[in-house]
Structure 1
Amino acid sequence: MASINKLAQTLKALHKPGSPLILSNVWDISSLNTIVSLNSEPHKPVKALATASFAIAATLGIKDEELSMVQNLEAISKIAPLAVKAGLPLSVDLQDGYGDLITTVVTAVVEYGAAGANIEDSIPSAGFDKGISGSLYTIEDQVERLKRALDAAKKAGAPDFVVNARCDAFCLSPTPGLTHEIKLAEAIKRGKAFLEAGATTIFYWGGAGGLTSETVKRLVKELDGKVAVMMSGAPGSLTTADLAKIGVARISVGPSLYFAALDAVKTVASRLFSGGGLA
């Protein structure tokens, strides 16, 4: 069985601008086993795994922002050992790192078997309607927090732990004077600072509609391709092929597979109630 740091090294090496790591986010043992089963195919398409805090929260009947550190760690403690057993590096969604508990939570997930983590720069209690200074940690504070996370991972045995530093500048609610260009400039400034602090990639999310190709191209150019994005399910959104061509290093889907699974259950159940069969 590979060591956690060996898995972290593998995960880090999979982040290649233009040939991105594609992650299908999981939320429990069943979803993990379903994705891992794809590697029974000769070309073994699954290279790594990731969790989605939104989906984990949804299984508990709560909102993403209500998911506690204890609840998230409980789910990760079940998922991570199975990822290790499968020989696949796992990146876990740690939201904002739970404030001052960031060292504690990173230490715990490394001990469970995680090789990397998402850590957000937005303040959960603030929401997205208070502008850059009110909704996001300052750049200086977030840099210090990311360094603490990486130091905790190193002390826990994973010096190559992969931090996918999420920047939520594009999620901020519209307010007077907060234009897209201002958000973009802030996103680039934060991205460069987070990479300097030791992050492997900078994760940008553009909300339900996703980011435009022009925005992604600018981010890729400014950050040397060290960009991670979440795919949007909106019609006409960028595909994995589109994003690879632009030059991103990492693509994830968040809770999209969770929603797809529920839709499949709903479709079959509706057919049964209408006199049909399972197929």
Structure 2
Amino acid sequence: MDFRTKVERARRLKQLHAEYKPLVLPTVWDVWSARTAADAGFPALTVGSHPLAASRGAQDQEGQTFEEVLAAVRPIIAGVDVPVSVDLEAGYGQEPADLVAGLIEVGGVGLNIEDTVHSEGGRLRSAQEHARYVAGLRAAADAAGIPVWINGRTDVFAHAQDAKAVLDEAIERLRALEHAGADSVYPVRIQDDDELLEAVTGAIAVPVNSTAHPVKHDIERFRRLGVRRITYGPLLQLAMTDAMKDMLGPWTP
């Protein structure tokens, strides 16, 4: 993929976030799933770390190296004509400039970056540390001349025993990511809590991403709560696993 095409896809991904409220990015894991989603009419896709790892027999939570991830997503991106974002977990120990360079080289025009550093015992980055990393990603993308869409994720709700008790901290973290240059933000594990979702979307200016289940959730509910971007995480792959088991069950010896 040449430089011009990468720029065009990055600009298209940004335009789609403005056009769709919410923009649904099916989370895919191989060329087949990517082409299936694109052929269904979705204008952009995201590759999830969990389903990608599962498809390769690897572990999620940075159980793959950055080089392995790039090698796996290259044919996915090349196999479709729509923009593709890639979940890069906490960055696989890479410097922001190296992470962006690798992503751009394989044709990715968006990325998801979280604050749980699994390679360091699953510690949670501080708000300032994570914001600095996102700022580095923004600077690297700007220097490369490609407006990579940065989805800044926080796992603070997932780490808390009481999600409502950390709402203020979560909003502080998300605002720090926004100010650091994140194009959208992603508070995980609150997709089923209307109160928390609405509180977050009401406090953040950039699009807020939510996980969704392709069957069990209602897109109109997310729209009503102010969610402007939806990804499936591992839930699309898990839903397809359930469907496959149902189909195969009657034929089990």
TM-score in terms of structure 1 length: 0.82
- Deviation readout 1:120-143 (Å, 9 max, x if unpaired): 011214556xxxxxx321222112
Q: Which runs of 5 or more residues in structure 2 are unaligned?
A: none
Contact 1:7–1:115 (CA under 8 A) maintained in structure 2 = yes
Once the two structures are TM-superposed, the CA of residue 184 in structure 1 deviates from its matched residue by 0.8
Aligned match of 2:181: 198
Once the two structures are TM-superposed, the CA of residue 233 in structure 1 deviates from its matched residue by 7.3
1:140 aligns with 2:128: yes
> Aligned pair count?
250
Aligned match of 2:86: 92
What CA distance in whole angstroms lies between the structure 1 residues aligned with 2:102 and 2:251? 44
- Deviation readout 1:57-101 (Å, 9 max, x if unpaired): 111223211122122111111111223xx1x11111000112344
Aligned match of 1:58: 54
Paired residue secondary structure (1:113):
coil
- Deviation readout 1:173-204 (Å, 9 max, x if unpaired): 42xxxx43441111100111111111111111
Query: In percent, how many aligned pairs have the same letter?
Result: 29
Structure number with larger C-alpha Rg = 1
Once the two structures are TM-superposed, the CA of residue 35 in structure 1 deviates from its matched residue by 1.1
Aligned match of 2:27: 25
1:155 aligns with 2:136: no
TM-score in terms of structure 2 length: 0.90
> Superposition RMSD on alpha carbons, in Å?
2.3
1:265 aligns with 2:236: no
Contact 2:160–2:166 (CA under 8 A) maintained in structure 1 = no
Correspondence list, 1:1-279, <5 A: 3-16=5-18, 19-39=21-41, 46-65=42-61, 66-83=63-80, 86=81, 88-125=82-119, 135-158=123-146, 160-174=147-161, 179-206=162-189, 210-224=191-205, 226-232=207-213, 238-273=217-252
Contact 2:138–2:181 (CA under 8 A) maintained in structure 1 = yes
Q: Which runs of 5 or more residues in structure 1 are unaligned?
A: 40-45, 129-134, 275-279
Letter in 1 for 2:139: D
Quickly say closer, same or farther: Cα 1:173–1:192, change in 2 above 3 A.
closer
Once the two structures are TM-superposed, the CA of residue 13 in structure 1 deviates from its matched residue by 2.3
- Deviation readout 1:230-278 (Å, 9 max, x if unpaired): 115796xx5211001111110111122212222233222222236xxxx
